[in-house]
Amino acid sequence: MGGYLTALAAHTPPLVTQSVRHNCIRDVTRLRNRIAHAAGGYPRDDGLVEATAQAAHACLALILR
């Protein structure tokens, strides 16, 4: 996701602002990485999964408006 956001921000003219790129990477990618890259780890409850889905939804809403 970070690569796509970086490409959108680097486009001429930019399709997303650097601030949107930064916030989406911070809010979505880092949460996703906590789930995906934890060695043998699964979320203890649905909270982290729901937070990641909500952050992704918010990011997409900003990009697609």
What range does the domain containing 44 cover? 2-64
Residues 4-33: pLDDT tens digits?
889 999 999 999 899 999 998 888 877 777
Contact predicate 48/38, CB 8 Å: no
Residues 29-53: pLDDT tens digits?
777 777 777 666 676 778 878 888 8
What CA–CA distances, in Å, run from 37 to 15, 29, 53, 60? Answer: 29, 11, 17, 23
Dihedral of CA 46/47/50/56: which sign?
negative
Rounded distance, CA 21 to CA 5, Å? 6
pTM, two decimals, is 0.69
Strand segments (E) across the chain: none
Name the 3-class secondary structure at 23: helix
If one counts the domains in the chain, the total is 1
